[in-house]
Amino acid sequence: MAANAPSSPKADGPVGVSRRRLPTRVNELLAVVAPAILAALVVSEAFASGRSLVLDARTAGLAAGTIAAALRAPLWVVVIGGAAATALVRLFS
């Protein structure tokens, strides 16, 4: 249910005007699209520089944050860990 929250207002307008409900399959699709777009944005920002792929300090920060999140660390630990890893790689490169 919570996954539908960000995307459902986009469909409420057309559906609300016509007083129809969206099919269940469309609601399921809307729930999947938002996280997929967010994941694509994270990957493109972390691994792209212009039109080429790069592995740099951002990659280390993303890896550190991913590991911390996988270990169920608090959000502040994930953010600080990712920033610290990025800073250390930039310091020594």
Tokens of 84: 């610290």
Selected residue with higher pLDDT from 5 and 19: 19
Residue partners of 13: CB distance under 8 A and separation at least 6: none
pLDDT of residue 84: 98
Q: What does the alpha-carbon distance between residue 59 and residue 86 come to, in Å, rounded to a whole number?
A: 8
pLDDT at 4: 56
Output the pLDDT for position 19: 73
- H helical segments located in the chain: 8-18, 24-47, 57-70, 75-92
Residue 90 has pLDDT above 60, yes or no: yes
Residue 40 parent element (H or E): helix 24-47
Tens digits of residue pLDDT in 28-76: 898 899 899 999 998 898 888 888 888 999 999 999 999 999 999 999 9
Cα-trace Rg, the chain? 19
